[in-house]
């Protein structure tokens, strides 16, 4: 994988352009968080990326959920998927809260954890969208 991704690897592509673009933006920003030497826990850049990441997630989940609700996927699967999005936002808020509260997190830990949620979710849930993509 490149230091900063310029395209998604094949196994992560869903086939819905706006969804794939959202995933690429998220993964690119996560890579920046993990690999940009100017990003430190106390830096303004770090806070900027953390809030940018939250905005991107909220935006992307909303966009993906529009597709989910209209693609013909069984309602239970759609509900479970949306629930998983909520869970990620919740975990992310807790992580940020822990950080603000002075819990001892290191940058690489934080970026790995968040990347794990996002890429893990992508592999577990988002790839199940593929059969519902037409055209
Ligand atoms: Fe998703
Ligand atoms: Fe997604």
Question: Does residue 2 lie in a domain region?
Answer: no
Which pLDDT value is given to residue 39? 79
Taking the CA of 19 as reference, the closest ligand is 2
Tens-digit pLDDT string for the chain (135 aa) = 445 567 888 889 999 999 999 999 999 998 888 888 777 777 888 888 889 999 999 999 999 999 999 999 999 999 999 999 999 999 988 887 666 555 556 677 778 888 888 999 999 999 999 999 986
Distance in Å, CA 102 to ligand 2 centroid: 30
Q: What's the total number of domains in the chain? A: 1
Buried b or exposed e, range 118-132, using 16+ CB within 10 angstroms: bbebbeebbeebeeb
- Write down the residue that tokens 């991704």 correspond to: 5
Question: Does residue 9 lie in a domain region?
Answer: no
Which pLDDT value is given to residue 1? 43
Question: Does residue 30 lie in a domain region?
Answer: yes
Question: Does residue 7 lie in a domain region?
Answer: no
The CATH number of whichever domain residue 103 belongs to comes to: 1.20.120.50
Question: The domain containing residue 30 runs over which residues?
Answer: 15-132
Say what the pTM is: 0.88
> For residue 107, what are the contacts with CB-CB under 8 A and spacing of at least 6?
33, 34, 39, 40, 41, 46
Residue 3 has what DSSP assignment?
S
The rounded distance, in Å, linking the Cα atoms of 12 and 87 is 21
Distance in Å, CA 84 to ligand 1 centroid: 7
Question: Does residue 3 lie in a domain region?
Answer: no
């Amino acid at each position: 994988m490149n230091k900063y991704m310029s395209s998604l690897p094949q196994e992560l592509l869903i086939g819905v352009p706006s969804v794939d673009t959202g995933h690429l933006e998220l993964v690119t920003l996560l890579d920046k968080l993990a690999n940009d030497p100017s990003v430190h826990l106390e830096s303004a850049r770090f806070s900027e990326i953390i809030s940018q990441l939250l905005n991107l997630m909220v935006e992307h989940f909303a966009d993906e959920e529009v597709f989910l609700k209209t693609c013909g996927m069984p309602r239970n699967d759609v509900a479970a998927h949306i629930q998983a999005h909520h869970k990620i936002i919740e975990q992310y808020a807790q992580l940020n809260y822990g950080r603000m509260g002075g819990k001892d997190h290191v940058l690489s830990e934080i970026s790995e954890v968040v990347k794990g949620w996002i890429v893990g979710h992508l592999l577990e849930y988002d790839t199940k969208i593929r059969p519902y993509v037409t055209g």
